[in-house]
Amino acid sequence: FEIQEVFKGDPQGFLAHALDSFLHNFPTVMFISLPFLALVLKLLYVRRRKYHYVNHVIFMVHTYIFIYLLLLFSFLAGELGDRTGWSIWAWLVNGLLLWGLAYLYLSMRRFYGQSAGKTLVKLSLFLVLSLFVLTFVFGSYFVYTVLKV
């Protein structure tokens, strides 16, 4: 009832406000998801006793820093592509995303010290499980954002 009173039947305004609030709090949601993704890594490397949960958290912090920098450059390149109309910027965004996957693979391989095949399998599992975790966390936070309006 409060939502209807504030937006007076304007679904476009409500959706725009909820989406803006959600995007504004994107770093908070990423911070909330960090321990869950570290838990996914802990489960993937459960047989490696020398790695404790804190090691996975530290690895994820470094990965998140890289992801934030990658997103910054991707958004910058996308904005430059929109303003200039040059297609080279779209190629740069795609290259940055591929570089991000390669970086994640290499960082997991170096940090955990496993073979290329095991690392590729665990990276694939990590990405699939991360998709589920991030969908749940982002979905929950979006519902919270909508109800908080």
The pLDDT tens digits of the residues spanning 47-70 come to: 888 899 999 999 999 999 999 899
User: Average pLDDT for residues 18-47, to the nearest whole number?
Assistant: 88
Q: pLDDT of 118-135, one tens digit each?
A: 999 999 999 999 999 999
Phi, psi of 52 (to 5 degrees): -95, 170
| Mean of per-residue pLDDT scores for the chain | 87
Burial 122-136 (b: 16+ CB within 10 A, else e): bbeebeebeeebeee
- Per-residue pLDDT band at 147 (split at 50, 70, 90): confident
* Cβ neighbours of residue 95 closer than 8 Å, sequence gap 6 or more: none
Residue listed under structure tokens 């080279």: 88
Q: pLDDT of 86-119, one tens digit each?
A: 888 888 888 989 999 999 999 999 999 999 999 9
